[in-house]
Amino acid sequence: MSKIDQPILVSFKLCPFVQRAVITMLHKKIDYTIEYIELSKKPDWFLNISPLGKVPLLRVGEEVLFESAVINEYLDESYGESMLPKDLLEKAQHRAWIEFSSSINNAQHQLTQARREQTFRQIQSDLAKKLAHLEQQVDDKGYFSGDSFSLVDSAFAPFLMRSQILADETGEDSLEDFRKLLKWRENMLSLDAVKNSVVEDFEELYNEAYYERDGYLVQLAS
């Protein structure tokens, strides 16, 4: 594939939804280009091609795709062997859990923004209920299903990475009561496609971002 044909991913450095697409491309060994923008100063060219004004965007020639789940399915169907099951019902179930992962990522983001302990604990409790459902679904082999990497794994890997960073920094581990999720996280964070899906100073940038919000997590990390 020539460089002009390479997909161009428009991103910012901390977005978990962008990271999904990077993980998929690295896993599939897709040649791609990534272009970072600042969300606080979105360039006009970006606003002109992004219907929702959000990342990720995937530019393919003159065409533009938005929404991370759609981008991931396009990449999956366009390059190599599919990362979704062949069975239609099982495929639909995987798609449902990919959608569910968005609520997990959003809850985690809310944790980093909560200013009061009461608010933090309520979000934490709601997240734990969601994770309890996930614990029942995830396999015991370190992947979501079976012994191979899937689009569900790429969808949840950003949350799992951030949960480890937060646990290391604050002592609060969202996964501590979930044996299979802990094993899943350990395996995901050992994979090159996941490790290499963020910028080198990602952990520092991620911690710096929630310190700047000066929420309850900062008190836990003190």
Task: Provide DSSP, 37-88.
Answer: --GGG--HHHHHH-TTS-S-EEEETTEEEESHHHHHHHHHHHSSS-SS-SSH
What is the pLDDT, as a whole number, of residue 222? 72
Task: Say yes or no: 170 and 104 in one domain.
Answer: yes
Q: Is residue 8 part of a domain?
A: yes
Residue 5 near residue 16 (C-beta atoms within 8 A): no
Among 43, 58, 78, where does a domain finish? 78
Answer yes or no: are the C-beta atoms of 145 and 97 closer than 8 Å.
Answer: no
In terms of domains, do 103 and 212 share one? yes
End residue of a domain, out of 51, 78, 105 = 78
* 40 and 15 both lie in a single domain: yes
Return d(Cα 9, Cα 55) in angstroms, integer. 9
Q: How open is the CA angle 145-149-151, to the nearest 5 degrees?
A: 85
* Element of type H or E holding 8: strand 8-11
Residue 83 lies in a domain: no
**Residues 113 and 214 reside in one and the same domain:** yes
> If the chain, 222 residues long, is cut into consecutive pieces of 10 residues, what is the mean pLDDT of each piece?
70 94 96 92 93 93 93 95 96 97 96 94 97 96 94 98 96 96 98 97 94 89 78
Q: Are residues 95 and 56 in the same domain?
A: no
- What global pTM score does this model have? 0.94
CATH code for the domain in which residue 186 is found: 1.20.1050.10
Tokens of 183: 């094993």
DSSP readout, 163-193? HHHHHHHHS--TTTT-HHHHHHHHHHTTSHH
Cα(35)–Cα(12) distance, integer angstroms: 8
Residue 185 has what pLDDT? 98
Q: Which domain holds residue 166?
A: 88-221
Residues 130 and 195 in one domain: yes
Instruction: Give dist(CA 106, CA 110) in Å, integer.
Output: 6
Domain harbouring 37, CATH code: 3.40.30.10
Q: Which of 26, 45, 78 is the last residue of a domain?
A: 78
User: DSSP secondary-structure letter at 36?
Assistant: E
**How many domains does one find in the chain?**
2
Q: Do residues 165 and 207 touch, judged by C-beta distance below 8 A?
A: yes
User: Do residue 33 and residue 112 come from a single domain?
Assistant: no
Structure-block tokens of residue 13? 């450095």
Q: What is the pLDDT of residue 4?
A: 41
pLDDT at 5: 67
